[in-house]
Amino acid sequence: MKYKTLFLPLTLFIILYIYLIKTNEIWQLPLLLTMVLCVFSSWQLWLVHKYRTETTAAKKDLIEKNQKLESVFNHSALGIMLADRNGKLLDANPKFLEMLGYSMEEIKTLSYIELTFPDDREKDMEHYALALQKKLPYSKEKRYIRKDGGMFIGKLSASFILDDKGFPIYTVAHVEDITKEKQLEDHLKESQKRYRDLVTYSPEPFLVQRDGMIIFANEKACKIVELSMTELLGKSIYDFIRPEFHHKTRKTLAELQNVYGEAENRPLEIITANGRRLIIEITLKVIDYEGAPSIQAIFRDVTERRRLEKELRKTTERYRFITENSKDIIAFLSPDGRYEYISDSCREILGFSPKELLGEISFHYVHEDDAAEMSSIIIGDKAGTSDHFSLLYRHKLKNGGYIWFETVAKLLLNEQGKAESILAISRDATKRKEKERSLETANDFLKMLSNLDGLTGIPNRRSFEETLDHEWQRCLASGTGLSAIMIDIDCFKEYNDTFGHLAGDDCLKEVASIIKGSVKRPRDFVARYGGEEFVVLLPDTDLAGSRKVAELIRHSVREKEISHTASQVDHFVTISAGYASLLPENSQSPKELLLEADSALYIAKRSGKNRACGIHEYSAHPKRITVN
């Protein structure tokens, strides 16, 4: 370079020197030398300036390129690393550090093999050694182990940097995290496998056809058409469709191709390999199968269902004929009691048309006195017990009146055993109810007569015993006292002997009337106990109260002044009374109350008659109600 810079001034000097010799102006040689030196110096200065300018520009360009490379390195979406030929890591970009969870200081202490998933290390080392030997770039999918022990899958692309002799000294690699993509691929493969298994083992017959040829079928489809898998695959679908439907089927399949992916349901009649005719419902859908458009067909044998539907239509027609011509009202009710159907006979019996009752709650037409019993047909009350029940109640008429209805109902249950509706058959039971009421009235009258004493007209002993048991239970529940008074007419045998039995009967009637008139409360009860004995039952009464009533009865009989000249006590009829009171307990019985009253009556008789007595020796008993 330095010789080239001398070429121009030297050439100029030679030319001027020759010129001076030819012009005999050699004396001007010093001036010539000065000029040449000046030109040479200026040239040198210009060259230096040019060199410096070019160097600065190159340096600036190099800096910009380095900055760009550094930016790419630091902000790359791929992990980038640099390693020596032995695999020791020398540098890595932030993305690579993020992928593995290491810092730069940590990464420089590791080799690539330490970042490899343990199960893959031996195979990975063999692959790297082979690539290093060939000095060629290579790519592969690789499993990496993170610092936290987690694993990710990366797509590795590596190349080697060679020295002047072509010897590999560095490895440069970039890594793309494809874990999610691989997981999606695995999920897709698993999904495809599940789909194929689902189809293969589906309980529904399933096949795929393309251009009319069967290319896939499951075992259920083979069973329906009565062929083996080998026999079925490759057959035409038209082998199983009646000839008169071939044209229509081709048209349907052609139309379906134009609505790719949409399903269409339709019934179809097919013929099996053994000649059986079956009615099927088929769902057709265009799908991609093995990379080509195909038609998926899922079908089910509905031959039996169609037969049952036909039978059901016949049954329905018979049922409609029966309901429309029956004099009974036939109805279906929802679980909450709404009319879902009611036969036309409701017009004649109730005055309502079916349209007026549909959707209405049947309970609203029941007499309020019968509503509680009617509500027992609610499903929640009947479910799990009997599915049949009957009711007798009053149903409202359109004119506002009521008639007696007898309803026989049945719960209609679903597969889970829950009631779906109620079938009810009802008829007018008004005449029957009137007959029953007349019979009940007669029975009540007979019962009343059987409970009355034929002579005195007051309740007899049997009626008293029933009442005693009833009142005992009531007082036991309420915790109140129950009292009884046993009464006997003094010297009644002498009365009959003196005045005769007819007069004695009149005396009994008179005394019974006096006793009955002496008790005022509704629950107080008077009965003839037998012969000349009477009994009074006083609920919610203590011993003091029973004594007052006994004394009142005794005084009332004496003040009536019924003549009794044969009496050893007085000239008039008198009575003796024994009173007792108990606070009923479960360990006691009503008979104990009567025994105490009878014992008290015995004391009154032994003490001279015409008096009322109690069992005072029992007064210390904690459960006895005694006189203060």
Catalytically active residues are: 532
d(CA 285, CA 290): 15
d(CA 373, CA 87): 93
Backbone angles phi, psi at 89, to 5 degrees: -75, 130
- Report helix, strand or coil for 241: strand
596 closest CA partner among 622, 574, 625, 554: 625
Contact 124, 142 (CB under 8 A): yes
- Report helix, strand or coil for 160: strand
Instruction: Report DSSP letters for 286-346, one per residue.
Output: EEEETTEEEEEEEEEE-HHHHHHHHHHHHHHHHHHHHHHH-SSEEEEE-TTSBEEEE-TTH
Residue 100 to residues 87, 105, 107, 156, 268: CA-CA distances in angstroms?
16, 13, 9, 14, 61
How many residues are there in the chain?
Answer: 628
d(CA 132, CA 153): 22
Contact 315, 322 (CB under 8 A): no
d(CA 268, CA 417): 35
The residues pairing with 174 across neighbouring beta strands, listed in sequence order, are: 80, 157
> From the CA atom positions of the chain, what is the Rg in Å?
61
Q: Which strands form 533-539's sheet, in the order they lie side by side?
A: 525-530, 533-539, 482-489, 575-582, 612-614
- Report helix, strand or coil for 155: strand
Taking each helix axis from N to C end, the angle separating 543-559 and 501-518, rounded to the nearest 10 degrees, works out to 140
